[in-house]
Amino acid sequence: MTVLLDPAQHGPGRHHRSLRAAAVRVLLGNWTGNATVPSRSLYPHQWSWDSAFIAIGLRHLSPRRAQRELESLLSAQWADGRVPHIVFNPAVPCGAYFPSPDFWRSSTAGRPAGAPSAPETSGIVQPPVHALAAWLVHRADPAESGRRRFLARLHPGLDAWHRYLTAHRDLGGRGLAAIVHPWEPGLDNSPAWDTALRRVPPAPAGSFRRADLDHSAASDRPTDLDYARYVRLAADYRDAGYDDARARFAFAVEDPGFNALLIASEYALADIAEAIGADPAPARARAVRRTAALTDRLWDEERGIFTARDLHDDRLVPVRGVGGLLPLMVPGLPRRITDALLRTAAGDHFRLGEVHMVPSYDLTGPEFDPSRYWRGPSWFNTAWLIHRGLLACGAVDEADRLREGILRDAGATGFAEYVDPHNGAGRGIRDFSWTAGLALDLLCGHPERAR
Ligand code: DGY
């Protein structure tokens, strides 16, 4: 049963204690024995960046379980290094989620690219937050981590993952990883993808059945037309054998959020390497090079935010989205850029500190919709990432206010998937795992503090 908590009624101390217990209940309820489903209804398999955020929460509950969360995800890694965005649970009926395993056909269509023969997976990826998560999980209990050789066992897979993104996904040839499907940055239907997506011919109506609308209101989810384009892009990639050199990408974008998370994870990978006696220099060098490319390619001086670059016309997309604020987490950006990002976050477009958490898209933008997936609502994972970024930039008061806001919204909505930024009303599904995991993390503090 979803529990709703109100700090005004419970008082902050009791609110936090009840919130902790409720978050633990969600995480235990969504654990499958090997991994955690984002949601029992809408997302009944294992998702890549969800598992990273979930592990960050689980580390406070059971460091060993947090380790297993990441280990099970990486056990489905492809030989080319990619970490697939979904690992399918064979025990779940095929029709419970679409696109299902028989759509992706990883074990056959993905074989030449190195997909495992089992389990079935999708063929696209999600943001590389995993090295960061692995490092945080290790820090929660270094003794247990050392006993299980957690870092030593994970390091080769994490290193291969980052190398895949560097070697296979630098489609623009300028040092940034490109995304080839709007689901890859995790911000599925952000207005930042609209122009690029419009070039994609939709899959024929009636050629597939959406399962997401069985669980969520249609007004909260991407439109049918967007969905038909997602399906077409995924089918084309599959039909090219998921081969990045052979595929003709109708959608190819350099996204600031995806690359910022890769940079943060490269630094974490360097820390991991150092901890196990391996060489941290290659990961650090990649982080530094990518930071220069990020600033060079995606900084939009006029808008005071990072924006995506569409590789079809090599132009910046003039859309302010939450992904453009995530470089707040990137160490070593010029101070004038972080200052401009802080001003943008506090200004009319995101109104940090005045609205609920951080809107996924410009509050003044023509496409703003407070309910529809990534076209306006505030999400808990991006708020958690920005909280880290604020701490890293020394904006401690703003970070503390955001933390309190995240905890209030998580409790008041029963761990909703996301919320309306204006009134905090919960949207999407409830008992969402990363909402519970990240609330738990904020409740337990950051022993390691951001860099
Ligand atoms: C979906 O199915 O809506 C997901 O966000 C893509 O993984």
3-state secondary structure of 90: coil
Check if 69 is active-site.
no
Cα dist from 93 to 26, 29, 96, 377, whole Å: 22, 19, 6, 31
Q: d(Cα 337, Cα 418) in Å, to the nearest integer? A: 28
pLDDT one digit per residue (tens) for the chain, 451 residues: 676 787 766 677 888 999 999 999 999 999 999 999 999 999 999 999 999 999 999 999 999 999 999 999 999 999 999 999 999 999 999 999 999 999 999 999 999 999 999 999 999 999 999 999 999 999 999 999 999 999 999 999 999 999 999 999 999 999 999 999 999 999 999 999 999 999 999 999 899 999 999 999 999 999 999 999 999 999 999 999 999 999 999 999 999 999 999 999 999 999 999 999 999 999 999 999 999 999 999 999 999 999 999 999 999 999 999 999 999 999 999 999 999 999 999 999 999 999 999 999 999 999 999 999 999 999 999 999 999 999 999 999 999 999 999 999 999 999 999 999 999 999 999 999 999 999 999 999 764 444 3
Q: Nearest residue CA, atom 4 of ligand 1?
A: 183
Ligand 1 pocket (Cβ < 6 Å) reads 85, 183, 188, 212
Check if 188 is active-site.
yes
Question: 397: which 2 tokens?
Answer: 């008061």
Question: 58: which 2 tokens?
Answer: 């689980």
Specify the ligand 1 atom closest to the Cα of 222: 3
Specify the ligand 1 atom closest to the Cα of 122: 7
Question: Residue 365 has what DSSP assignment?
Answer: S
Catalytic choice (50, 71, 188, 271): 188
- From the list 183, 170, 164, the residue with the least C-alpha distance to 122 is 183
pTM: 0.96
Cis ω for the linkage preceding 99 (within 30 of 0): yes
